[in-house]
Amino acid sequence: MKNYTRFSQVQNDLKSGNITCTEIVAYYLKQIEANKHLNAFINVYADEAAQLAKHVDEKIANNTAGKLAGLVIGVKDAICQKGKGIQASSKMLEGYISPFTATALQRLLDEDAIVIGNLSCDEFAMGSTNEFSTYGPVLNAADNTKVPGGSSGGSAVAVQAGLCHASLGSDTGGSVRQPAAFTGTYGFKPSYGRISRYGLIAYASSFDQIGTFTNSVEDASLLFEVMGGIDSMDATTSSKPMPVLSNLEYGKKATIGICKDVMEHEALSPEVKKAAEAFIERLRNDGHTIEEFSFSLLDQMVPTYYVITTAEASSNLARYDGVRYGYRAEKPENLEDLYKTSRSEGFGTEVKRRIMLGTFVLSSGYYDAYFTRAQKVRRLITDQTNDLFKQFDFIVSPTTPTVAFDIGREKTDPTEAYLADLFTVQANLAGIPGISIPFANSSNNLPIGMQVMAAKYNEAELLSFASTLLAVEA
């Protein structure tokens, strides 16, 4: 089968009869089997995907197929599909079968997308490496000794290695954009509230947003257009009309902000910095206006993010107590022992670390010192970010401070690994859209990603501009 980089190419071949959905699914199933060592998939829906492909082929023949007919996708193991196992890559939800389908996924299915399986992630979406999964680490296809990023590492690798055409992930502080940068894929996170969170297992509810991994901006736009929009099942979805993204043309020159504090940060590796500077120079040569700015709260963003998200995680994960559902300890001595043992055995190391931190910052005597203060800083970050977009059309930066690092590093030094989110958490704190674009490779042939952010709800401009960056890259 051809190496399709855009879904429009698949559609053209389907319409001309050069290929069928059945053949597409068969090809991806063969690829998944050949790349089992990457550990990206938890469950592969081989028989169901093949049957659905046959049904979609019939709809294509009858001219009744939806706009995503022929699109084969993988889904992060935190997004529910009715009748399918959903574990959030955790022992806590082992054996749980979802009774409903997430709104975002259902909208794709309604347009005849084919789900080929669910994909590994860091447990309950907590991690930056995809090592914290009860199913073991996911391997970066570019170098199997390196992490793929997280928490949506399985989703990133599935697209990177050609195991499906596109995939769904979730982004709480960079969990789509960071693994996209590490794997050389396009990772898109829309504004908070653009895509329904109904059916997404919650980590931090005021940050979580479903996003996509694709091989092109064009496909990211298509998936966003289908999935986005208000949903009665999620009160946090925006009522603002969805943009029309059929024509990705950015017919003007942009004013682009470059954060001086980012480019001079000690965590930024020299190689990533050099590549980013070369990319920015190409933007300048293409006629865009490049202006530097300072952001005084840069070093406060990661601490603010982790204080608030762990607090929300502590609250969200309190429901997994061994009583109502989830893992239940055997032969507890009493009710208190049931709670303690069920949660100790059911949750992994990183999840327990974040629950304990979140419980601490919410505890009596510390609530105002940590959680309340972090919320105030979040407001300052949001206000300053919104002010920047009165000056700039877009903010451009490296997606991550480094390229993909060795497997095992986060387990020995979690604080250092948390810095992998340094440049991505701003978008989640402020609720704005962002996209990571692959634009270079390091000296050891690992992908480097560039992040572009725009004002809230300005996805149309962001995606249109991002599509022009391909021409700049060339």
List of residues 6+ apart from 336 with CB closer than 8 A: none
Would you say 191 and 238 are in contact if contact means Cβ atoms under 8 Å apart?
Answer: yes
Catalytic residue among 89, 90, 128, 151: 151
Q: Is 175 a catalytic residue?
A: yes
Catalytic residue among 175, 238, 314, 397: 175
Q: Is 76 a catalytic residue?
A: yes
Name the pairing type of β-strands 447-453 and 394-398. Answer: antiparallel
- Helix 217-227 crosses helix 459-473 at what angle (to 10 degrees)? 170
Q: Is 16 a catalytic residue?
A: no
Quickly tell me which residue has 């972090």 as its tokens.
Answer: 374
Question: Environment class of residue 55 by beta-carbon count within 10 Å: exposed (0-12), middle (13-18) or buried (19+)?
Answer: middle
Positions marked active-site: 76, 151, 175
